[in-house]
Amino acid sequence: EGLIKMFGHKSKDELLGLALNRFTAEPDTTRLRKSAERIFSTGESIPSLVYELIRLDGVVCNVDMSLSLINDDGIQPIGFRGIIRDVTEPRRSEQALRESEQRFHAVFENVGDAVLVHDNDLKLVDANPVACELYGYSKEEILKKSIYDFAMPERKDFAKSKVEEMFRTGFYQGA
């Protein structure tokens, strides 16, 4: 049922006997053919092959397929067996995440304010160019410092108490 829906057909009979390359476009058609030839000649399965599948209605989706050889009486190859999983949404999510990271990086690098990024252990993990210029350190030098090194000496204790409060309560109040 799932495969029939994935390929955009109405019944199992519509799919039977169709070659898989009927649902692909280059370069995936060539990759699938070469993979099938390799399986046929070596007998080794392919645990994961990601490619674009073109449904009957023309919609393109991404699938992950494992493919193995079917033997007649365990000796003579007679066909292939595969498991196909639709990975379109995870791939779209990964692409959206990459694009979001690129936008964040562009803002981070070009914003007119100093930005320091730290991990949960308060170790500095990044600094933008404005922070480097403002504090007069290279990025490498900044990343060796504590976040408290950037607090005014008379406000370090206050800064530490606010960070502790934030970790304890989950939010920051006050200035």
146 secondary structure, DSSP code: B
Instruction: Tell me which of 8-17, 71-80, 99-108 is least confident.
Output: 8-17
Task: Find out whether 67 and 82 touch, Cβ atoms under 8 Å.
Answer: yes
Tokens standing for 55? 């449904």
Tell me how far the alpha carbon of residue 90 is from its chain's centroid: 8
CB 7 within 8 A of CB 56: yes
The per-residue pLDDT for range 21-56, each reduced to its tens digit, is: 778 888 988 998 899 899 988 889 999 999 898 888
The rounded radius of gyration (Å) of the Cα atoms in the chain is: 28
Say how many residues make up the chain.
Answer: 175
pLDDT band at 89; cut points 50, 70, 90: very high
**Predicted local distance difference test score (pLDDT) of residue 127:** 96
Considering all CA atoms of the chain, what is the largest pairwise distance in Å, rounded to the nearest integer?
83
Taking the complete model, does pTM exceed 0.75, yes or no?
no
